[in-house]
Amino acid sequence: MTKIRAWKLRPGSDDITVQQVLKTGQIQLDYEVPDLRLDMTRDDLISAIRTHNQDRSEKGVRARAGQIDNLFNEVRKGDLALVPRDKGRLMMIGEILSERSNVTGTSITVQVSWIDPGVPMSRFDQDLQYSFMAIHKFCEVSRNDAVRRLLRIAQGEVDPGDSE
């Protein structure tokens, strides 16, 4: 059995985007890199990002390539999706349904079924809240036994913390 992982995805915080994500279960991240393909290597991604985002720093290029590479190769069906909403006051927690991400043009889409689409941020201990503050559109949330805790929180329980 594969290990469940948790991923924070930030498709946008405007009301229209949030309502669309809630309604369809499709989380779409636009990376502004034309002609993305699932078979691109990390080096291919770095080259494409450099070409189409010439104002991005080398560190930014590599960070963005890492995000896209993880979306292509690491996210799996059964993993948890975390999407902040309402200016960070709530977190949507869902289960990823897609075996692989879907790529269309500059966007990458992941299909999700919502377990709890409105968890107040106050239900998470401070360490998880810090993990959610990462500025990236996409990142893994893994420290302090995050998956176990997130599953319990999504079922309405109190955050058991990292010491259980």
Residue 33: inside a domain, yes or no? yes
Q: Which pair of structure tokens corresponds to residue 71?
A: 């979306």
Distance CA 9, CA 28 (A): 9
Per-residue confidence (pLDDT) for residue 8, from 0 to 100: 95
Residue 72 lies in a domain: yes
Asked whether residue 125 is assigned to any structural domain, the reply reads yes
**pLDDT of 133:** 85
Total count of domains within the chain? 1
Domain that holds residue 11: 6-154
CATH of the domain at 128: 3.10.590
**Contact by Cβ (8 Å): 119, 93:** yes
* Cβ pair 83, 10 in contact under 8 A: yes
In a domain, 68, yes or no: yes
What pLDDT, on a 0 to 100 scale, did the predictor assign at position 65?
A: 96
Half-sphere exposure of 132 (CA within 13 A, CB side): 25
| Tens-digit pLDDT string for the chain (164 aa) | 569 999 999 998 788 999 999 999 999 999 999 989 999 999 999 999 999 988 999 999 999 999 999 999 999 999 999 999 988 899 999 999 999 999 999 999 999 999 999 999 999 999 999 988 888 889 999 999 999 999 999 999 989 887 65
Place of tokens 């599953």: 151
Question: Does residue 43 form part of some domain?
Answer: yes
